[in-house]
Amino acid sequence: MSGGVDSSVSAILLKEQGYDVIGVTMKLFEGEVEGSCCNVSSTMDAKRVCDYLEIPHYTLNFKDDFKKYVIDDFINCYANCKTPNPCIECNKYLKFGSMYNKAQELECEYIATGHYAKIEYSEKYNQNVLKIANAIEKDQSYVLYNMPRELLNKIKLPLGMFNSKEEIRKIARDNNLPVASKPDSEDICFVPEGNYKTFLESNSNIKGIKGNIVNSEGKILGEHDGLYKYTIGQRKGLGISSTNPLYAVGFNKEKNELIVGEEKELYKKEFNVSEVNWLLFDKLEKELIVYVKTRYSSKAYKARIIPYENNVKVIYDEPQKSIAPGQSAVFYIDDIVVGGGKIIG
């Protein structure tokens, strides 16, 4: 429980359904970040809600695991010209890793979160499946693809059947929850004020080393002051002028070069995916038609996925924009998550 309205209402719903509910808040890092899901005030909000609901509340220290699996990965990605998604790593290693293990120690049969997604039994696949939430604009199935397949029978997602966030807030108001009007937490929980560049400079060996900005032919167009300050598709802040708008389209880490190009150079029809986690089957045996989503806020587009060495090759029907290494590609059939993995280019 983060102290926010979603996890708090999830606890209400589970209690109403007859479950014996325990609230758990994860302590993930040192320091206070305003608006974070795991600062002191959020922990106190979670405790207040649990006291109000008359359920036990525990605060568990997972700081070492969080640093190892989330913060260090975040830093490593930027050091290697990749764009990380720390929420996906946190879900995999903390919520459905460390926390699930602790839940077993506490003799809990299930773990539950306030994510907007559904887990339902599918007659077609003869198993529980992860599905898109009814509230499509809030759907978080993208960041949940990395959960272990065996936990599909052990996870409860009470909010998946609701059609809007307002319905959740109404339940909170109707139950007089003290967090009913609390704003959503949207920034990276461990990055103060959302300024990831300052965070990297303060918490790693990454420094602003100047290098050339070049086009795809290698022509020098300007100078950058650190590759970690740029992401694929970025247009603002390049510091160079051109007749046509230019975007960050790639990196040459060995030469410390930022590669820029026109918008058409951002489009790719195919790319490879590693570290694939499957939720419908154990292994991709042959080509499969799916819809692929490459960012949390993007649409899913039709593609073929094909076994390729130890990875998966994605081939879109039509080229898509700003495919960023380090982000995740998540595969869907209808509203069901097939699996997903890390984009490697």
Tokens 């605060």, residue located: 59
Which of 251, 183, 268 lies closest to 214 in space, CA to CA? 251
- Residue 111 sits at the vertex; the CA angle it makes with 110 and 115, to the nearest 5 degrees, is 135
Instruction: Cite the active site residues.
Output: 90, 189
What are the beta bridge partners of residue 259? 214, 250
- Centre a 10 Å sphere on the Cβ of residue 30 and count the other Cβ atoms it contains: 8
**Token pair for 231:** 């992401």
Tell me which H or E stretch contains 125.
Answer: none
Residues 30, 164: Cα–Cα separation, whole Å: 34
Which phi and psi (to 5°) does residue 56 adopt? -65, 150
Residues 66, 94: Cα–Cα separation, whole Å: 7
